Amino acid sequence: MRVFCDTLDLSIMALQPLAERLRPQSLDDYIGQKHLVGENGVFRKFIASGSVPSFILWGPPGVGKTTLAKIVATALDRPFYTLSAVTSGVKDVRDVIEKAKNQHLFNARPAFLFIDEIHRFNKSQQDSLLGAVEQGIVTLIGATTENPSFEVISPLLSRCQVYVLKPMTDDELQELLDRALHGDELLQRYNIEVRETEALFRFSGGDARKLLNILDIVIGASGMNVIIDDKHVTECLQQNIALYDKGGEQHYDVISAFIKSVRGSDPNAAIYYLARMLAGGEEPRFIARRLVILASEDIGLANPNALLLANACFDAVHNIGMPEARIPLAETTIYLATSPKSNSAYAAINMALKMVEHDSTNRPVPLHLRNAPTKLMGEMGYGAEYKYAHDYAGNFVRQEFMPEGLSGRRLYTPNTHNAQEAKIAERMTALWGDKYGK
């Protein structure tokens, strides 16, 4: 009878993914995010004090956002309601808030409302949360893979603390792998030999859930004797691409190919990779943000209108959503791919930042460039001898703007291979001569 029960328990266990079987139940079991859950981490203080503000967990997939929220709620023994921004609407939010309000009558502490992928909530859905958060009916916990500054409305964001979760390091992935192999009852029935972990960790990409899913795939393809090495892991994943790939290695490969196709002025390849991303369920606003970056980084001053169109695309995608969002995304992709290119602004700011970072002195701003809001500053020479450009012919007069020691240092170099910046270079030479010719 005992043998039958053990077999039944293991059969039930096998129906659960490894990631679910190993989900931590306390902060002591939690791997990674030491800055949040370590000895002096803020989440230990939350549990110790029982006082928890509304907060948003921002980080890549598979780093423990949902788990961390559940651990806090369980440790404080409070009601825990969950909504997914992918499938829930305003009505679902209001229903949960009503349940929490009724619960609040019998419990001095507010319930937790966990919203996964909160960045997918539109403005009206987020607005429906405000009152409950303000009145303390619920303590909101949001989880997002996107920058909340862009995706969460300001009134809601101002009422939440934002905590950043980081991808797991290889050492942390190793700790998780060891725990799986030595702590999971089902895996202990296999004869598993780990020879190499480079491919296993590389395909995981700092994602704990992905590591465990890959481990499931490899073991499922191996029988009772399992050898884990780079070759076997790669072969298993190539045969099971759909099981591991969403949001993973292919995600990064395809977005990289998309960016490089636009940069390389190939609209056909760019639109192909755009289609692959959309068909694979990529977040359209993520693509739109990449287009804004491309417009600045790779097109820049060769065609300043590119940034205007990319920003308009971002707004359109945000406002209309899929499937119609595919059209402005396609239009902007083709426009950027066929536009002349220049990375001069990108190169200039990087060079300036590098110079500032390694400049050992706190160079004083020249006196004539300083404002003199007080009499003392005026007496000290602040603003003296400053020449107001509009008082001179052509709205220009030569004077020194760089701090002492940096005169003539060139940071911006126009890309004269495009017409727009060739005109800029011509104008700068006419104004400054060879001052910035170094």
Q: For residue 135, what pLDDT is reported?
A: 87
β-pair partners for 55: 141, 161
Q: What is the pLDDT of residues 322-339, one digit of tens each?
A: 888 899 999 999 999 999
Query: Quick check: is 105 in a domain?
Result: yes
CATH of residue 424? 1.10.3710
Boundary-marking domain end, from 138, 164, 190: 164
pLDDT tier, 104 (very low <50, low <70, confident <90, very high otherwise): low
Q: What's the Rg (C-alpha) of the chain?
A: 28
Boundary-marking domain end, from 118, 141, 164: 164
Do residues 78 and 107 lie in contact, with contact meaning Cβ atoms separated by under 8 Å?
yes
Do 331 and 428 share a domain, yes or no?
no
Q: Give the torsion sign (CA, 206, 212, 218, 222).
A: positive
Do 159 and 266 share a domain, yes or no?
no
Does the pLDDT value for residue 206 go beyond 60?
A: yes
Q: What is the pLDDT of residues 47-94, one digit of tens each?
A: 999 889 999 999 888 889 999 999 999 999 888 999 887 777 788 888
Do 260 and 315 share a domain, yes or no?
yes
Do residues 335 and 291 lie in contact, with contact meaning Cβ atoms separated by under 8 Å?
no
Query: Quick check: is 72 in a domain?
Result: yes
CATH of residue 136? 3.40.50.300
Does the pLDDT value for residue 280 go beyond 80?
A: no
Which residue in 179, 196, 174 sits closest to 18, CA to CA? 179
Do 66 and 146 share a domain, yes or no?
yes
The residue whose two tokens read 């509304």 is: 54
Q: What's the chain's average pLDDT?
A: 85
Rounded to an integer, what distance in angstroms lies between the CA atom of residue 80 and that of residue 88?
16
Do 47 and 159 share a domain, yes or no?
yes
Neighbours of 72 (CB within 10 A): 21
Query: Quick check: is 200 in a domain?
Result: no
Do 39 and 156 share a domain, yes or no?
yes
Query: Quick check: is 18 in a domain?
Result: no
The H or E element spanning position 3 is helix 2-14
The residue whose two tokens read 């791997």 is: 31
pLDDT tier, 279 (very low <50, low <70, confident <90, very high otherwise): confident
76: left (phi over 0), alpha (psi -120 to 50) or beta: alpha
Do 100 and 153 share a domain, yes or no?
yes
Average pLDDT (21-43) is: 92
Number of domains the chain is built from: 3
Query: Quick check: is 237 in a domain?
Result: no
Q: What is the pLDDT of residues 296-320, one digit of tens each?
A: 999 999 999 999 999 999 999 888 8
> In terms of residue numbers, what domain contains 72?
33-164
Tell me if the pTM is above 0.85. Answer: no
Query: Quick check: is 229 in a domain?
Result: no
Helix (H, G, I), strand (E, B) or coil at 8: helix
